Amino acid sequence: MSIAELYLVKQPLTFFGSPQGGDARFIVVGVPFDSTSSYRSGQRFAPRAIREASLNIEANGFSLSGSVDNVSMSDWGDVAVVHGSTQQTLDRVAIVTHYIASRNFIPVLVGGEHTITLGAVRGLVRAGLKPCLIVLDAHFDLRSDYLGVKYSHATVMKRVLEETQTKIFYIGVRAYEAEEVKIADEVESVDYVTSWNLEVLGVSGTVVKARSALSDCENIYLSIDMDFYDPAFAPGVANPEPGGASPIKALPLIAQLASDERLVGIDLVEVAPPHDCSDITSVLAAKTLQQALIAAWPVKGERRA
């Protein structure tokens, strides 16, 4: 047994009814961590809620040809997070992500809070990959520190930039602290389409802009913060911010981004089921993952080693 397997806890339900363990193109794991949450916590309950929602939406739809039933996917359970210890949790996420990526599978992490992306990026880099990030989020998460904490949901992308000097392309950002937009505007490797510009550019214009900004990237990692959506559609998030995207626009956008053959990982974060209404955020999260996975499968040819 590998160390990674020691950090995985099988769950009674699986995402989209996929096998509980085993080889597959996509390996889905939950990361039920919410210790740095500063407003509406409860993201630790999201993997379970999204698994349940994923089992109760249709496998087929008119938006994309293909069924999630045909996607090669396995649910390895949840990372055994250490509540209260961001560092130990990030270490475990990195070990699990590295294990998945080094076996040439694509990790799909379901948070949990956004901080987990740092662990995923560390794991991918350890596996020899060079992921540039596409981040769908209302926020930049580029603060130097937040409430005296260096590693948190509000600083995660700053830490990613410091550790990897990678490129980050944001879509849907609409609220910021002054120091964050300074970085976003002045650092060459960071670019963004605001939620207002997404309305102007449309889905295809935004995808063109993202592809162009990341044209020289070897690998792409797609990070979806559910607060990217408007709170009208996704009220059950930790930090809701009005003025976001609708599913009718966001789902095809996410599908197009996920169809990039350079894709090496996905995460979906920040659902907070205790603050949800009628499970609509968990259902939308399940639909979002479903569309991303269908679009990314089958990818042209095999993933590059």
Enumerate residues 207-226 that contact Mn ion by CB under 5 A. 225
Token digits for 284? 């939308």
Burial-class residue 151 by CB neighbours within 10 Å (0-12, 13-18, 19+). middle
CB of 91 to Mn ion, least distance (A): 23
Could you give phi then psi for residue 291, rounded to 5 degrees? -65, -40
How many residues sit in the footprint of Mn ion (CB under 5 A)? 5
Closer residue to Mn ion in complex, CB, 128/274: 274
Q: How far apart are CA 106 and CA 24, in angstroms?
A: 8
Residue 180 binds Mn ion, judged by CB under 5 A: no
Closest residue by Cα to residue 231 from 241, 219, 221: 241
Residue nearer to Mn ion on the CB measure, 227 or 260:
227
Token pair listed for 123 = 């794991």
Closer CB to Mn ion, 138 or 214, in the complex = 138
Judged by CB under 5 A, does residue 137 bind Mn ion? yes
Burial grade of 104 (CB within 10 A; 0-12, 13-18, 19 or more): middle
Among 44, 51, 122, 139, binds Mn ion (CB under 5 A): 139
Is 113 near Mn ion (CB under 5 A)?
no
Q: Where does this chain touch Mn ion (CB under 5 A) — which range of 13-21, 56-64, 130-138, 252-260?
A: 130-138
Q: Indicate whether 279 belongs to the interface with Mn ion (CB under 5 A).
A: no
- 227 contributes a contact to Mn ion by CB under 5 A: yes
Alpha-carbon distance values, 183 to 148, 222, 227 (Å): 20, 20, 21
**Which residues form the interface with Mn ion (CB under 5 A)?**
137-139, 225, 227
